[in-house]
Amino acid sequence: MTKQDPQTLPRSAVTEKIELGLAKRHRREKIFRAFGLTAVIFGFMLVFFLLFDITSKALPAFHQHWVKVDVNYSAKNLRYSAGDDLANLSYRNTLRKSIYEQFPDVKARRDKRKLNGLFSSNAEFAIKEHLQANPEYLGTTQPVWVRVDDDVDVYLKEVEVLGEPLVRIDQKEAQWVKTLVENGAIEERFNVEFFTSSDSREPELAGVRGALTGTLLTMVVTLVLSFPLGVAAAVYLEEFAPKNRWTDMIEVNINNLAAVPSIIFGLLGLAVIINLFGMPRSAPLVGGIVLTLMTLPTIIIASRASIKAVPPSIREAAMGLGASRVQTTFSHVLPMAMPGILTGTIIGMAQALGETAPLLMIGMVAFIVDVPSSFTDASTVMPVQIFLWADSPERSFLAKTSAAILVLLGFLFLMNASAAYLRRRFESK
Amino acid sequence: MNNVMTSQNLTSGDIAINGSVGTPFCDDAKMSMRNVNVFYAENQAIHDVSLDLAKNQVTALIGPSGCGKSTFLRCINRMNDLIPQCKVTGSFVMDGAELYDKKMDPVLLRARVGMVFQKPNPFPKSIYENVAYGPKIHGLATSKSELDDIVETSLQKAGLFNEVKDRLDKPGTGLSGGQQQRLCIARTIAVSPEVILMDEPASALDPIATAVIEELISELKEKYTIAIVTHSMQQAARVSQKTAYFHLGKLVEMGDTKQIFTNPSHQLTENYISGRFG
C-alpha cells in the first residue's frame, strides 16, 4: 500500500496518527523538564555550598581578641626624664616590664620571650598612642587593651569551636592564655581594623582597605574608559560604518580579541603603557587601562547585539520625521539599546573585577601597605590581595582570605545592583 | 470557450505592459516623477515609472504584493537611501526642485515630505514626546507653550486629542493599534510637511479604526498632498481622487479613481480591481 496523503485521510485516522506519537512527545517534554530542573538545582547547590563554605571560613576574621595589660607608665619603665618628648620614650621596655609584673612566676629568658610573643607586635605603639593622648597618665598604672598575637587569636577561636586547638602554641603559652581568660583580661571584639587598615605582615593587623580602594580606583578607570569607547565603537560599527570587507575584518578581530588570554593584555600594558609611555608601575591608572583593553570587546559585542535588536521601524520613524542619523541614534536607538548595553558592561566589569593575571605583569601584585589616594599611587586589588593572603603561611590568614572573598563578592553584588537599577530605569522609560 | 483562467495568464506577460495608459500627469502637480528606475543590487524593482502627485489630492498606489508600490513611495522622501544596495535613477521634482540633487538635504526633504508606515511605530516614549520630537529637532517651537500648542493641534488634527488629553505623559506604545497609527499621523503633521506618504496605514487595523483613519485622510487632503499605498481597493476608492495601478514594477494605468474603478482601460487593471487576482 502506498502512503496516503494526510489531507485525504478520514479525520479520525489523522487523529489516530497524532495520538500514536503523542505519548512519546509528552515523555520527551517531561524528560527535558526534569533535566532542566536538575540543572538549576545542581547550580543552586553549588552556589549555596560555595557561599556556605566561604562564609563559615570567613566568620572568625570579623572578630579579634584583645588582651588587657596594666601598663605601668613609670618614669623608670619609660626611661623618662623631665622635658623628654613623649614620642621618643622606651615603650617596648614599658610594655615588657608591665607584662612581667602580671606574670611574676615567669623568670627564664626564653619563657619571657614567649610571653612577649602572646601580644601583638603592634602593642607597644598602642600604649604609646594611649600615653600621648593622655599625658597625665605618666607615672601611673593604667589598663590598656591591645591585640593578642595572631597565633593566640586563632588558638582562642579554635578552642571555642573545636574545643581543641590545632595551632603551634605550646602548653606553657596555653596555660598563660588560660590564666588571662580566667582573669577576664581577654575580650573578643568586632574587627573594625579588617575594613579600615591595609595589608600587613602581621595577620592581626591586616585589612582590606588598601586593596578595596585599589579595586575601586581601577574599576573607575576601567568603566570611564571602556564604557564610552565600547559604546561609541558599537554605535559606529552598527549605525554608521559601511558594510564592506574592512568592517567585516574589524568585526572578526573584535570577536578574536574577546578570546585573547588576559595575561597577554598584561604584557601589552607592561611593554607599551609602562615602558614606552612611562606611566608608573603598580598604579590603578595602568591597571584600569589594561583591564579596559580586556573589557572592550565584551562591551562592544554586547552593545552591537543590543543595538541590532532595536526594531528598524523606530529608526525609520525618526528618519521619516527628518531626524539626522546622529539624532536618531542618540534619542531613540541608544536609549532602547541601553539595557542590553548595561548588561554587557556589567559582565565585562565583573570579569575585570576578578582579574589577576594581567595585573601581575604591571606590578599590582606587590605588597603595599599604604592606602592608595590617587590613580597613580602604588596599589593592589582585591583578587591579588586574596591570592597573597592565600599564599601566606600564618593560619590566621585562612579566615582573612575567605573574608576578603566575601568582601569582593559584596563589591560585585553592589556593582550588579547598581547596573540592575539603571537598567530598570531605562526599561521603564 | 474556456472561461477558467489560470493565475498564470491573469498576471504574467500574456498581457503586455507597453508603457502606462490613462492620465499619469496633471497640471497642478505637487511632485513629478519621471522615468524612475529602482534597483536592489541586481534586481530591478521599478521599471521606468512616470507620474505626478496632484496638489491637495489623495493619490492611491494599488497593485498586487511585490509590485513595487511601497518601494516607489519610499523613494519619494529618499527613505531608500538607508538601504545600501538600493540604487535610484530618474527624476523626482517637487516644486521645481530635484530631490536627488546633491544639494538637496535629505533631512530637510523628509521634514517636508512626511511618512506614515504600515505598522504603527510610536517611539517608546510619552504621547507628548512622540508628537513633540519632530518640532523639537527642527527647532519649530521657541517656547514650551508654543510646543504645547503644536502638540495639541497636531493631536486634534489627527482626531486623537480628546482620547489622550488626560494621559499625554503616558507611553505612546500603550495605546490601541488604531490610536497608535493616529499618533503616528499626528507626529508626522506636527512637522507641518507639504506631502504625506502613507504606506498601507490601515492594514494592521480593524474596520472601525480604519474608518477613522480614512476620514482623517479625507480631511488632511485640504492642507496636504497625500500619496497612499493600499491593498484594499475599497479603501482606494473611498479616499483617493487619483489611482495608480502598479504591476511587476511597472505603472500599468493611472487616472481618476472613479474612472479606474468603473472603466479601466487596461486588461490587467480590470483583472485586479474585479478581484480575479491579487
Q: How many helices (H) and strands (E) does chain B have?
A: 11, 11
Instruction: State the Cα torsion B207-B208-B213-B217 to the nearest 10°.
Output: 80
Distance (Å, whole) CA A222 – CA A290: 8
Q: Calculate helix-pair angle for B177-189, B127-138, nearest 10 degrees.
A: 20
The yes-or-no verdict on residue B154 having pLDDT over 80 is yes
3-class SS shares of chain B: helix, strand, coil, % to 5: 40, 25, 35
What is the 8-class DSSP label of residue A333?
A: I
The band of B2, judged by pLDDT with boundaries at 50, 70 and 90, is very low
Q: How many CB atoms lie within 10 A of CB B190?
A: 28
Q: How many CB atoms lie within 10 A of CB A11?
A: 7
Q: Do B110 and A321 touch (CB under 8 A)?
A: yes
One-letter amino acid of B110: R
Taking CA–CA distances from B78, the nearest residue in chain A reads A320
One-letter amino acid of A226: S
Q: Do A322 and B108 touch (CB under 8 A)?
A: yes
Q: Chain B within 8 Å of A321 (Cβ-Cβ)?
A: yes
The Cα diameter of chain B in Å comes to 73
Q: What is the pLDDT of residues B86-136, one digit of tens each?
A: 888 899 998 888 888 888 888 889 989 999 998 899 999 999 999 999 999
Q: Chain B within 8 Å of A427 (Cβ-Cβ)?
A: no
> Smallest Cβ distance to B191: which of A317, A321, A324?
A321
Helices (H), A80-122: 91-102, 109-116
The yes-or-no verdict on residue B191 having pLDDT over 50 is yes
The band of B15, judged by pLDDT with boundaries at 50, 70 and 90, is low
Tell me the three cell numbers of residue B200: 498601507
Taking CA–CA distances from A427, the nearest residue in chain B reads B124
H or E element at residue B37: strand B29-40
The yes-or-no verdict on residue B192 having pLDDT over 80 is yes
Q: Chain B within 8 Å of A209 (Cβ-Cβ)?
A: no
The yes-or-no verdict on residue B11 having pLDDT over 80 is no
Query: Looking up cell 564592506, which residue turns up?
Result: A244
Query: CA A303 → CA A177, A233, A418, distances in Å?
Result: 60, 9, 18
Helices (H), A258-395: 262-268, 284-308, 312-320, 325-328, 334-353, 357-361, 382-390
Q: Do B188 and A332 touch (CB under 8 A)?
A: no
Q: How many CB atoms lie within 10 A of CB B131?
A: 32
The band of B209, judged by pLDDT with boundaries at 50, 70 and 90, is confident
Q: What is the pLDDT of residues A119-145, one digit of tens each?
A: 888 888 888 888 888 888 888 888 889
Q: Which pLDDT belongs to residue A44? A: 97
CATH architecture of A209-428: Orthogonal Bundle (1.10)
The yes-or-no verdict on residue B6 having pLDDT over 50 is no
Q: What is the CA radius of gyration of chain A?
A: 32
Instruction: State the Cα torsion B268-B271-B277-B278 to the nearest 10°.
Output: 60
Q: Chain A within 8 Å of B110 (Cβ-Cβ)?
A: yes
B253 and B20 Cβ atoms separated by less than 8 Å: yes
φ and ψ of A81, to 5 deg: -125, 150
Low-confidence ranges of chain A (pLDDT < 70): 1-11, 160-168, 428-429
Q: In what order do the strands lie in the sheet with B43-54?
A: B43-54, B29-40, B86-94, B97-98
Nearest to B62 by CA among B227, B250, B244, B263: B244
**B70: which chain A residues are within 8 Å (Cβ-Cβ)?**
none
Q: Do B121 and A311 touch (CB under 8 A)?
A: yes
Three-state DSSP class for A201?
coil
Q: Which pLDDT belongs to residue A345? A: 94
Which residues contact residue A298 at a Cβ distance below 8 angstroms, ignoring those fewer than 6 apart? A230, A258, A344, A347, A348, A351
The yes-or-no verdict on residue B21 having pLDDT over 80 is no
Distance (Å, whole) CA A118 – CA A68: 12
Give the β-pairing of B97-98 and B86-94.
antiparallel
Taking CA–CA distances from A324, the nearest residue in chain B reads B107
The yes-or-no verdict on residue B278 having pLDDT over 70 is no
Distance (Å, whole) CA A293 – CA A82: 62
Domain ranges of chain A: 63-190, 209-428
Query: CA A405 → CA A360, B23, B51, B83, distances in Å?
Result: 19, 81, 74, 52
Nearest to B245 by CA among B225, B215, B267: B267
- In sequence order, the β-bridge partners of residue B227 are B59, B197
**What is the residue-averaged pLDDT of chain B?**
85
**What is the number of CB-based contacts under 8 A between chain A and chain B?**
64
**B119: which chain A residues are within 8 Å (Cβ-Cβ)?**
313
H or E element at residue B91: strand B86-94
B137 and B148 Cβ atoms separated by less than 8 Å: no
Q: How far apart are the first and last CA of chain A?
A: 64
Q: How many CB atoms lie within 10 A of CB A240?
A: 10
**A332: which chain B residues are within 8 Å (Cβ-Cβ)?**
123
Nearest to A281 by CA among A386, A380, A387, A384: A380
Q: Which pLDDT belongs to residue A212? A: 93
